[in-house]
């Protein structure tokens, strides 16, 4: 039977990546459209080796290597806890995803395209320039005669490196249906190709709160009242803001530390939890009194659960690898730009500020319906 191949980062040890992939597959399932997530394993080819010259990628790889070495050296006090987290993610994938056969190497991936009548590129920072070297998230492996749909991808950056501009134009022009997750991405595509593409919601926002509530345990993981801190960045001032909030409220801090890299200060920051997969992550947000985060999806699920939350800019605006635009775009669309903080604010003046969730829901419902309409139209073109 003909089916859609979903190209997305379901396997990445990141709560947002796993949950947006889940939402993408569920959306298709609910429409009874046959689909499966592509299980692709890269070979260590020359093109892969050359990727180490990509500075942002090299920086990320070095952080991962450093984290792995530290975990191995300090297994009893740290490494076994990371294994616990990784096991939870593996279980989530096994329980919730329908995967293709394993395609090892780029040639096998290209040959496998005959098994599909369309490819749907999922969301998250799949179009971050550091990913271009793999030729995977760009859908370059898909032949011209097979429909290609990009739903809510993010570039994650505000500018494409000069040496990648021409290639970016080329792969964008091959994709028949493109939508993006933030306004900056919309501007980049217009600048590069002249195409007008819509801004749509992340797949996680295509599902309602009620749909999300069916997948995670209802019983509280943390019995006491708490402030949930989910920080992917290393900014100590964001942690200081949370500590001041703790002093004001008397609530404990619960945190999921060392997701992307080792953050030394997080060894003594709040109460660390590791036995937490994507489902448990949702439970922690659902039952928190406050959420402090620098994460896009931490913000998304805070909004869906109508939480009092503080979102912080992870990067300085002038940094080349800044991914702040996706946060400003999301909060702007929802009409709550004032929930983006620098951490210089005084929590005493902020912690009681209410969010008008009636207006937020109205704004969300409007763009959710527009997004569904766009995606359904693209899907209707599948032969």
pLDDT confidence of 243, banded at 50, 70, 90? very high
- On whether both 294 and 238 belong to a single domain, the answer is yes
Contact criterion met (CB below 8 Å) for 226 and 245: no
- On whether both 84 and 215 belong to a single domain, the answer is no
Q: Give the global pTM.
A: 0.92
- Percent pLDDT > 70 in the chain is 92
- On whether both 175 and 72 belong to a single domain, the answer is yes
Pick from 98, 132, 105: nearest CA to 4: 98
**b/e per residue 117-137 (b: at least 16 CB within 10 A):** bbbbbbbbbbbbbbbbbbbbb
pLDDT digits (tens, 9 = 90+) for 134-155: 899 999 999 999 999 999 999 9
- Domain tally for the chain? 2
Pick from 279, 206, 329: nearest CA to 18: 279
- On whether both 187 and 335 belong to a single domain, the answer is no
Pick from 36, 63, 366, 23: nearest CA to 214: 23
Q: Which domain range does residue 263 map to? A: 211-365
- On whether both 232 and 269 belong to a single domain, the answer is yes
- On whether both 150 and 181 belong to a single domain, the answer is yes
Q: What is the 3-state secondary structure (H, E, C) of 265-320?
A: HHHCCCEECCCCCHHHHHHHHHCCCEEEECCHHHHHHHHHCCCEEEEECCCCCCCC
- On whether both 183 and 217 belong to a single domain, the answer is no
Report residue 344: phi and psi, to 5°. -85, -15
In order of 8, 121, 133, 234, 271, the CA distances from 152 in angstroms are: 11, 8, 20, 27, 34
Q: Domain with 264 in it: what CATH number?
A: 3.40.50.2000
Q: Which of 35-44, 85-94, 114-123, 185-194 has the lowest mean pLDDT?
A: 35-44
- On whether both 216 and 182 belong to a single domain, the answer is no
- On whether both 170 and 119 belong to a single domain, the answer is yes
- Percent pLDDT > 90 in the chain is 79
Q: Which of 124-133, 231-240, 261-270, 333-342 has the lowest mean pLDDT?
A: 124-133
- On whether both 249 and 180 belong to a single domain, the answer is no
Predicted pLDDT at 325: 74
Distance, CA of 98 to CA of 38 (rounded, Å) = 9
pLDDT at 53 over 50: no
- On whether both 153 and 227 belong to a single domain, the answer is no
pLDDT digits (tens, 9 = 90+) for 302-341: 999 999 999 998 865 544 444 467 788 899 999 999 999 9
Contact criterion met (CB below 8 Å) for 302 and 330: no
Q: Domain with 148 in it: what CATH number?
A: 3.40.50
pLDDT at 48 over 60: no
- On whether both 122 and 268 belong to a single domain, the answer is no
pLDDT confidence of 58, banded at 50, 70, 90? low
């Amino acid at each position: 039977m003909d089916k859609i191949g979903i190209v997305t980062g379901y396997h990445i040890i990141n709560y947002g990546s796993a949950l947006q992939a889940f939402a993408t597959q569920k959306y298709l399932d609910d429409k009874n459209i046959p689909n499966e997530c592509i299980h692709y394993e890269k070979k260590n080819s020359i093109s892969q080796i050359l990727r180490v010259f990509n500075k942002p990628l090299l920086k990320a790889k070095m952080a991962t290597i450093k984290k792995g070495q530290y975990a191995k050296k300090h297994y009893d006090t740290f490494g076994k806890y990371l294994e616990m987290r990784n096991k939870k993610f593996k279980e989530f994938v096994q329980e919730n995803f329908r995967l293709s056969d394993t395609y090892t190497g780029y040639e096998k991936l290209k040959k496998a395209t005959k098994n599909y009548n369309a490819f749907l590129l999922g969301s998250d920072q799949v179009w971050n320039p550091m990913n271009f070297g793999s030729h995977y998230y760009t859908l370059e492996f898909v032949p011209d005669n097979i429909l290609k749909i990009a739903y809510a991808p993010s570039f994650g950056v505000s500018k494409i490196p000069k040496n990648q501009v021409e290639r970016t134009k080329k792969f964008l022009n091959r994709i028949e249906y493109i939508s993006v997750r933030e306004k900056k991405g919309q501007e980049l595509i217009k600048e590069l190709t002249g195409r007008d593409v819509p801004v749509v919601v992340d797949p996680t926002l295509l599902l309602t709160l009620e749909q999300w509530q069916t997948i995670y345990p209802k019983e509280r993981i943390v019995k006491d009242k708490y402030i949930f801190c989910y920080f992917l960045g290393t900014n100590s001032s964001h942690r200081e803001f949370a500590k001041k909030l703790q002093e004001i409220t008397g609530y404990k801090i619960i945190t999921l530390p060392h997701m992307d890299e080792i953050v030394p200060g997080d060894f003594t920051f709040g109460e660390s939890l590791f036995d937490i997969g994507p489902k448990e992550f949702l439970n922690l947000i659902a039952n928190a009194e406050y959420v402090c985060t620098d994460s896009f999806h931490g913000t998304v699920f805070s909004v869906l659960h109508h939480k009092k939350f503080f979102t912080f800019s992870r990067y300085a605006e002038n940094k080349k690898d800044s991914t702040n635009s996706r946060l400003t775009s999301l909060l702007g669309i929802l009409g709550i730009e004032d929930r983006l903080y620098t951490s210089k604010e005084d929590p005493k003046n902020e912690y009681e500020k209410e969010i008008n969730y009636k207006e937020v829901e109205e704004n969300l419902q409007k763009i959710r319906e527009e997004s569904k309409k766009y995606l359904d139209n693209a899907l209707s073109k599948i032969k």
